[in-house]
Amino acid sequence: MIKSYSCLMFNLPKSIGKDIDKWSMKNISDENVWNPSKEEKEKFNQYVGGRKNDYHVTVKYGLHTENKEEVQKFIDKCVEDTKTKFPFDISLDKVSKFSPFPEYDVIKIGVKSPELMKLNKLICNEFKYTDSYDYAPHITLSYVKPNSCNDLIGETIVSGKINVDNLEFSTPDKKKFDIKVSSLRLSHRDI
């Protein structure tokens, strides 16, 4: 069985999630969705496969810590001591895909944000983690059969900026905690 780790992420506002969900249901047919067998779930991990509806942007997966207070303290330190601006905005890119294994493609929306890239780097420098991927922030829409949704590449689902003012920390046992980002302090000083 594959080991699970903690994760720090940003959940999209529900209104944007509804727009993405509507687009996904209309454009990604059930017959194209890749639903892994039990053996494939064990090979890859329990989160891989199917259509997604918990739209989020991962800040960092693979964290060894399960201590939410430790993560909150670090985020508070970032707000006070670094040039990372909190809260910050992200911009959503067009629909694209990546193909980590021959069994499936991942249909996603790319995310652009220099502040998000900085935050990922700061977390990697602060906490132990297990992860071999280069950070490429995105929103996963669905796991699909290889090359089944290539016609969707380049489409725009949602445009504009989304404000990141709250994070979520989840532990391997699926407990979820809000990580507060203090915007009050930021209004008094530009970090």
Closest CA relative to residue 104, chosen from 140, 73, 137: 140
DSSP symbols for 51-117: B--S-EEEEEEEE----HHHHHHHHHHHHHHSS--SSEEEEEEEEEEEEEETTEEEEEEEEE-HHHH
Q: 6-186: what CATH class?
A: alpha beta
Q: Which residue has 């493609």 as its token pair?
A: 105
Mean pLDDT of the chain: 88
What pLDDT score does 185 carry?
Answer: 38
Rg of the Cα trace of the chain?
17
pLDDT bucket at 101, cuts 50 / 70 / 90: confident
> In this predicted model, what pLDDT tens digit does every residue of 32-82 receive, in sequence order?
999 988 888 777 766 688 999 899 999 999 999 999 999 999 998 887 765
What pLDDT score does 187 carry?
Answer: 30
Percent of the chain surpassing pLDDT 90: 69
What pLDDT score does 1 carry?
Answer: 47
Cα–Cα distance between 94 and 162 in angstroms, integer?
15
Distances (CA, A) of 144 to 69, 105, 124, 139, 168: 37, 5, 30, 15, 27
The residues pairing with 111 across neighbouring beta strands, listed in sequence order, are 92
> In this predicted model, what pLDDT tens digit does every residue of 169-178 receive, in sequence order?
999 998 999 9
Q: Are strands 56-63 and 6-11 parallel, antiparallel or unpaired?
A: antiparallel
> In this predicted model, what pLDDT tens digit does every residue of 117-159 receive, in sequence order?
999 999 999 999 998 889 999 999 999 999 999 999 999 999 8
Closest CA relative to residue 12, chosen from 162, 119, 143: 162
- Residue 51 tokens read as 């259509």
- Residue 101 tokens read as 């294994």
What pLDDT score does 49 carry?
Answer: 87
pLDDT bucket at 83, cuts 50 / 70 / 90: low
Amino acid residing at 150: N
> In this predicted model, what pLDDT tens digit does every residue of 10-33 receive, in sequence order?
999 999 999 999 999 999 999 999
In this structure, what DSSP letter does residue 130 have? Answer: -
What pLDDT score does 37 carry?
Answer: 86
